[in-house]
Amino acid sequence: MNNFAVPILGIQGIMPELLLSLAAVLILLLEMTAGDREGHGALSLSVAGLILAFIATFGADGKQVFSSLLVNDNLSALLDRVFLMAAFLVTLVSRPYLANYGLAKGEFFVLLLLATVGMMVMGAAMDFITMFLGLEMLSLSLYVLAGFFKKDVLSGEAAFKYFILGAFATGFLVFGMAFVFGALGTTNFAAMAHTLSAGSPPFPSVPTLLFGLALILAGLGFKISLVPFHTWVPDVYTGAPTPVTALIATGSKAAGFAALVRIFMITFPGSFQFWGAAFWWLALLTMIVGNLFALVQVEIKRMFAYSSVANGGYLAMAFLSHSDVGIKALLFYLFAYTFMTVGVFGVVSLAGRRERLLISEYAGLSRENPFLAAVMSLFLLSLAGMPGTAGFFGKFYLFAGAVRSGYLGLALVGILTTILSFYYYLRVIVYMYMRESEMPREALELAGSGRTALVLAAAGVLILGCFPNLIWISIEQVF
């Protein structure tokens, strides 16, 4: 009967996504008609779209729209805000960055907006089909963005590797989805959960379902760069234009965790007994490998690439905690992580006229550009987990959640590796403040949007570090 019913469109349910898409289309039109050499128009439109979309996320009503393909609940709204904030800050940093290389073109901002829409669709998906749609929208945009510097070999290499390996991992993901569909006969999350809770067929007796879930975990593990699915991270993060790296490290990773939460915690809560033990090892390895390998890096982007892997490990630990506290800690850390990571990559974007500076080339930055050095120090201290910054409460909730769920050993490793991370984070501060620069290094002019982005990110780090309740309250509403 339903087959003939007019689907409930529910435009209001996808308002944020629509607004962003509209902004993307307008930028394309602007590019074609008026010509927007310096990217000011694209920046303005992007910013307007992002802000409007951010406001629109407060209209979450918990309803499923488009025949239950998407849901508009508190969780998706909260994740949308993470994505939008990341995209907003990255957009602000991008224009002066791109202008430096003469590449401030509208299509960059279009792709950035579309990638964001992809993340939001992933966060709101209630069906494998929409989730995959969102994932591909995100991934394809990012592949192009990673290779945006056409003449830069490393940028091209990054795009190529990202694409090949991403396609490889996506293959596993789709394969897994197919197996799950085969086992349960539906792609809709609610329907799958319903089928399982009806009791037939019970979990262990369906190896195809578990097989599918394992492959999905692997596919998403690529997105969140769990060890050993992290191998692309150092090369891609280093090669891609730095603002793109920032987006990959924050928004894309957050989208991966959003999908994990939707599938493994909300749809298949009973599956934990099967993947818990294996995932424990992955989280452990990710924390150790990320922090350990970051220690000896000489190039700052590569170091932050490993640091991002390590942070993925902390987030994975929270996801593993599988408890109320754990998931709240995960969401909180996503906010904190977004601010500080976009912050460091923002500084890296603007600190030199050349890509891929060495850590030693940050010597004397405090003298030449005290503002950059100061906010960089703040973000680094936050990453290290210094009290008074967002990173402190983020880590505090993470470890508290892990301990409460009985993962004392994992939390201990997390704390030990955090101590390890102090070394490479503080090393940058040492260079900036205690070493003289050997050669003059020209920083970008910090006018306008770049400075705004860094100030906003720094404010976010400090506000979350002093008043964590501001975010915690909206997180409490999710569950």
Partner 1 sequence: MENGQGIITAFSTAEPFRWVGLVWLVPLFPAAATLLNGLLGRKVIRYRTGQLATVAMLGALIVSLLCIWDIARTGQPYNVDYFIWIGVGDFQLPFGFYVDQLTAVMLFVVSFVGTVIFLYAIGYMHGHPGYWRFFTYMPLFAVMMFLLVLGNSLPVLFVGWEGVGLCSYLLIGYFFDRDYAAQAGRKAFIVNRIGDFGFLLGMLLLYWTLGSVRFTDIVEHAPDIYPAGSVMITVITLLLFLGATGKSAQIPLFVWLPDAMAGPTPVSALIHAATMVTAGVYMIARLNLLYSLAPISLLVVGTVGALTALMAATIAFTQREAKRILAYSTISQLGYMFLALGVGAFDAGIFHLMTHAFFKACLFLSAGSVLHAFHEDRDVDIFQAGGLRRYMPMTRLAFLVSAVAIAGIPPFAGFFSKDEILFEAFAGGYILFWGIGLTAAFCTAFYMFRLYSLLFSGEFRGTEHQRRHLHECPFIMWFPLVILALLSLVGGWVNIPGLFPKFHAFLRPVFAEAHELAGPHRELAGARIWEISLALLSVLVALTGIFAARLCYVQLPKLPHWFAETFPSLFIASLHKYWIDEAYQATVVKGFYSACRLAQWCDNRIIVAGLNAFAALIRHLSEIGTQLQTGYVRHYALAIVIGVVFLLIGMLL
Rounded Cα distance between 45 and 28, Å, is: 11
Does 183 interact with partner 1 (rule: CB under 8 A)?
no
Whether the CB-CB separation of 103 and 149 falls below 8 Å is answered with yes
Query: SS3 for 188?
Result: strand
Rounded Cα distance between 414 and 310, Å, is: 9
Residue 220 Cβ vs partner 1, minimum distance, rounded to whole Å: 11
Between 29 and 277, name the residue whose CB sits nearer to partner 1. 277
Give the residue, chosen from 86, 104, 137, 217, that forms a contact with partner 1 under the rule CB under 8 A.
217
Residue 226 Cβ vs partner 1, minimum distance, rounded to whole Å: 8
Between 68 and 170, name the residue whose CB sits nearer to partner 1. 170
Rounded Cα distance between 187 and 175, Å, is: 13
Q: Which stretch binds partner 1 (CB under 8 A): 17-25, 80-88, 164-172, 432-440?
A: 164-172
Between 231 and 474, name the residue whose CB sits nearer to partner 1. 231
Binding mask of the shown chain, residues 118 to 157, with x at each position contacting partner 1 by CB under 8 A: ----------------------------------------
Residue 155 Cβ vs partner 1, minimum distance, rounded to whole Å: 15
Residue 295 Cβ vs partner 1, minimum distance, rounded to whole Å: 4
Residue 310 Cβ vs partner 1, minimum distance, rounded to whole Å: 12
Q: Which stretch binds partner 1 (CB under 8 A): 182-190, 217-225, 336-344, 441-449?
A: 217-225
Give the residue, chosen from 52, 133, 214, 443, that forms a contact with partner 1 under the rule CB under 8 A.
214
Does 73 interact with partner 1 (rule: CB under 8 A)?
no
Q: Looking only at residues 312 through 331 of this chain, which bind partner 1 when binding is defined by CB under 8 A? A: none
Q: Binding-site residue total for partner 1 (CB under 8 A)?
A: 38
Rounded Cα distance between 51 and 38, Å, is: 21
Rounded Cα distance between 177 and 169, Å, is: 13
Give the residue from 300, 366, 304 showing the smallest Cα distance to 337.
304
DSSP 87: H
Q: What is the CA radius of gyration of the chain?
A: 21
Does 300 interact with partner 1 (rule: CB under 8 A)?
no
Does 281 interact with partner 1 (rule: CB under 8 A)?
yes
Does 435 interact with partner 1 (rule: CB under 8 A)?
no
Give the residue, chosen from 5, 198, 296, 439, that forms a contact with partner 1 under the rule CB under 8 A.
296
Binding mask of the shown chain, residues 392 to 431, with x at each position contacting partner 1 by CB under 8 A: ----------------------------x-----------
Query: SS3 for 192?
Result: helix
b vs e for 90-120, b when ≥16 Cβ sit within 10 Å of the residue's Cβ? Answer: bbbbbbbbbbbeebbbbbbbbbbbbbbbbbb
Give the residue, chosen from 229, 304, 339, 392, that forms a contact with partner 1 under the rule CB under 8 A.
229
Does 59 interact with partner 1 (rule: CB under 8 A)?
no
Cα pseudo-dihedral 413, 415, 417, 418, rounded to 10? 160
Q: Is 150 exposed, middle or buried (0-12, 13-18, 19+ CB in 10 A)?
A: exposed
Could you tell me the two tokens for 448? 């306008």
Give the residue, chosen from 87, 158, 169, 347, that forms a contact with partner 1 under the rule CB under 8 A.
169
| Number of Cβ within a 10 Å radius of residue 171 | 12
User: CA of 412: how far to CAs of 64, 337, 403, 423, in Å?
Assistant: 41, 20, 9, 18
Site residues (vs partner 1, CB under 8 A): 160-161, 164-165, 168-169, 172, 207, 210-211, 213-215, 217-218, 221-222, 226-229, 231-232, 234-235, 274-275, 277-278, 281-282, 289, 292-293, 295-297, 420
